[in-house]
Amino acid sequence: METLGHFVGGKQVEGRSNRTHDIYDPVRGTVRRQVSLATAEEVREAIGRAQDAFPAWAAVNPQRRARVMFEFKRLVEKDKDRLAKLLSEEHGKTVPDAMGDVQRGLEVIEFSCGIPHLQKGEYTEGAGPDIDVYSMRQPLGVCAGITPFNFPAMIPMWMFGPAIAAGNTFINKPSERDPSVPLRLAELMMEAGAPEGVLNVVNGDKEAVDTILEDPRVKAVSFVGSSDIAQYIYATGTAHNKRVQAFGGAKNHMVVLPDADMENAASQLVGSAYGSAGERCMATPVVVPVGDGTAERLIEALKPKIEALRIGPSDQDVDIGPLVTKEHKERVRGWIDRAVEEGQEVLVDGRDQGVEGYEDGFFMGATLLDKVKPEHESYKQEIFGPVLQIVRADTLEEAIRLPSEHQYGNGVAIFTASGSAARKFAQEVEVGMVGVNVPIPVPVAYHSFGGWKRSGFGDTNQHGPEGVRFWTKVKTVTQRWDWDEELGASEFVIPTMK
Ligand code: NAD
């Protein structure tokens, strides 16, 4: 069986470790290939290659670095069909959805092509007598990205696009569940003209991650994954004096007011709750209808749409593919069982819905649960599967409180015809990304992405101007080239304004 290795110093390298991880074909439930899990020594070697490549890459002028990004974009576009197929094979999301995964990553590469402008510093002439002040944004050095299984194209590109464009060198540690696309992206980056060692991919698990977190040559770490790991990465990375941003799990709510267009709200909700089998950090696993009448109208509109969902092999004309692994499928099932024990009403039960001819695949139907209460554990925790929970609220204020008081604060949406209600909601809700009549409010590449509370540890968001700030540090120069006797005299006190 094929065993994937790593991509270091401009080429594919075989893994030397005796530990491997199985990569599945989620449609058939079989092992498709394996991936080698790097030893600490292998990770350190990759960091060394990235460190060696850094001074020369940082010295390349920003316009030339941008040209590598332009070429990378062209190559990824050319390879898009193959990348989407490879992604879908290991992840299980449908091929068109995998195409979207590649596309949303590429949009950040497009944004990164503007690095000559984005990285420009500031200048003040005459800040003091014959003194000028300027600041520059310099790259940090070796940077790392630790990425999750659910967006194996988009999230690596969100990280390494702006990082590399700004003059850093990079190590991506992708999810061990679907590492083929990140490996292919590194190959394409070399083909685009990035020097060897500028983008490396090291496959591995906790051992590889801990090596990255502890090595003093790594200056910054961006993480996306579940919240407990995000918190661990943030605490460990910052304790080792690194700049860290760590994005965690989510439990996004969609509030539906009585004046919403119910057909539209239900259509949008079915897509955002069950698309990609609910394995999206910006999925909508909770809906909050305001008023029982709204809840009944929404359920009536939702049920036939859920029953019409087509579930099947990811490369066929279906709406939803399988979950990523058997273990994850069982976890999701466990949460639905728990919800039933907690007293929730099962309006649609997808637990035993399989796909004929693919009995060993990790398929699961869509589930709809009503009468969910904020104190239920299955509401408090992320399920990350095709499960939608209905939490009924009596007022807009209560509907604002629910997502605001939840431990996660990634995304939230409101569906309404009232501008005034939407404005109040957007201003008051304690969540990082808000949609108004938009179910999955993922900001476009030139804005920035990030959640609040246990959905995001650290100060800066991903991509957009915030991403450029994260991957660069400011140096400020105060200079004087001319002086006379008075200006050149010794000063023993801090000068005050006159
Ligand atoms: P995960 O936390 O299991 O894994 C993420 C990364 O961390 C992987 O590279 C993995 O190898 C590594 N890792 C796992 N356990 C580790 C450990 N003990 N020590 C060090 N590293 C470890 O997450 P996942 O299952 O791959 O992805 C799904 C999760 O990611 C969900 O919680 C989802 O909400 C979240 N997510 C969040 C965002 C966001 O922007 N907030 C985006 C996508 C996914």
In this predicted structure, the answer to whether residue 489 has a pLDDT above a threshold of 70 is yes
- Whether 285 lines ligand 1, by a CB cut-off of 6 Å, is no
How many residues in the chain? 498
Task: Indicate which residue of 281, 288, 298, 302 is catalytic.
Answer: 281
* Euclidean distance between the first and the last CA atom of the chain, given in angstroms as a whole number: 77
Q: Does the pLDDT of residue 176 top 80, yes or no?
A: yes
CA of 152 to the centre of ligand 1 (A): 11
The pick from 22, 175, 280 for probing ligand 1's pocket by mutation, whose C-beta has the most ligand atoms within 8 angstroms, reads: 175
- Is residue 440 over pLDDT 90? no
CA distances from 41 to 15, 34, 173, 210, 257 (A): 11, 20, 15, 12, 56
Q: Which residues pair with 8 in a beta bridge?
A: 11
- Binding site membership of 385 for ligand 1 (Cβ less than 6 Å): no
Mean pLDDT of the chain: 97
Q: Whose CA is nearest to atom 24 of ligand 1?
A: 148
Percent with pLDDT over 90 in the chain = 98
Q: What is the mean pLDDT of residues 174-200?
A: 98
Q: Is the pTM of this model over 0.85?
A: yes
Q: Where in the chain is the domain with CATH 3.40.309.10?
A: 253-436
144: helix, coil or strand? strand
Instruction: Indicate whether 497 pLDDT > 80.
Output: no
142: left (phi over 0), alpha (psi -120 to 50) or beta: beta
DSSP designation for 442: P
CA-proximal residue: ligand 1, atom 18 (nearest): 206
Position in ligand 1 atom list of the atom nearest CA 382: 32
Q: What pairs with residue 124 in β-bridges? A: 133
Angle at 425 between CA 387 and CA 283, to 5 degrees: 25
pLDDT at 498: 60
pLDDT in tens, 382-423: 999 999 999 999 999 999 999 999 999 999 999 999 999 999
**What distance separates the 2 farthest-apart alpha carbons in the chain?**
91
The pLDDT of 270-285, averaged and rounded, is 97
Pick the CATH number of 3-248+455-477 from 3.20.20.60, 3.40.605.10, 3.40.50.261, 3.30.360.10: 3.40.605.10
Rounded mean pLDDT of 278-298?
Answer: 98
Place of tokens 């390879």: 79
DSSP per-residue letters across 194-228 = PPTTSEEE---SHHHHHHHHH-TTEEEEEEES-HH
In testing the pocket of ligand 1, which one of 23, 224, 233 has its CB within 8 Å of the most ligand atoms?
Answer: 224
**C-alpha 26 to ligand 1 mean position (Å):** 19
Q: What are the residues whose beta carbons fall under 8 Å from the beta carbon of 154, sequence distance 6 or more? A: 101, 102, 104, 105, 108
Pocket probe for ligand 1: among 43, 209, 214, 232, the residue whose CB has the most ligand atoms within 8 Å is 209
Q: Which contacts qualify for 224-231: CB closer than 8 Å, 24 or more apart?
A: 224/146, 224/147, 224/148, 224/151, 224/155, 224/281, 224/462, 225/146, 225/147, 225/148, 225/175, 226/148, 226/382, 227/382, 227/407, 227/408, 227/454, 227/455, 230/454, 230/456, 230/457, 231/454, 231/457
Structure tokens at 219: 């200056």
pLDDT at residue number 141: 98
Ligand 1, atom 40: closest residue by C-alpha: 247
Q: Provide the token pair at 48.
A: 């060394």
Q: What is the mean pLDDT of residues 46-56?
A: 98
Ligand 1 atom with least separation from CA of 455? 41
* Å from CA of 226 to ligand 1 middle: 4
Are 179 and 203 in contact, with CB atoms under 8 Å apart? yes
Instruction: Please determine, looking at this structure, whether the domain spanning 253-436 carries the CATH number 3.40.309.10.
Output: yes
485 to 93, 482, 489: CA distances (angstroms): 73, 11, 6
Average pLDDT over residues 153-164: 98
Q: Ligand 1 pocket, 410 CB below 6 A?
A: yes
Which residue spans of the chain are classified as CATH 3.40.605.10? 3-248+455-477
Structure-block tokens of residue 403: 């997502």
359-373 residue pLDDT tens? 999 999 999 999 999
Residue type, 205: D
For the cut 90, the answer to whether the pLDDT of residue 318 exceeds it is: yes
Q: Which of 151-155, 170-174, 490-494 has the lowest mean pLDDT?
A: 490-494
pLDDT by residue (tens digit) across 189-242? 999 999 999 999 999 999 999 999 999 999 999 999 999 999 999 999 999 999
Which is the closest atom of ligand 1 to the Cα of 324? 25
Residues 399, 401, 405, 411, CA torsion sign: positive
Please identify, by atom number, the ligand 1 atom nearest to the C-alpha of residue 177. 26
Model pLDDT, residue 495: 78
281 given a catalytic annotation: yes
Contacts of 55 (CB under 8 A, 6+ apart): none
How does residue 427 score in pLDDT terms, banded at 50, 70 and 90? very high
- Joined together, the tokens standing for residue 99 give 């195409």
Check pocket membership of 363 for ligand 1, CB cut-off 6 A: no
- For residue 466, pLDDT over 80 is answered with yes
CA separation for the pair 128, 80 (Å, rounded): 54
Instruction: Give residue 219's identity as a one-letter amino acid code.
Output: K
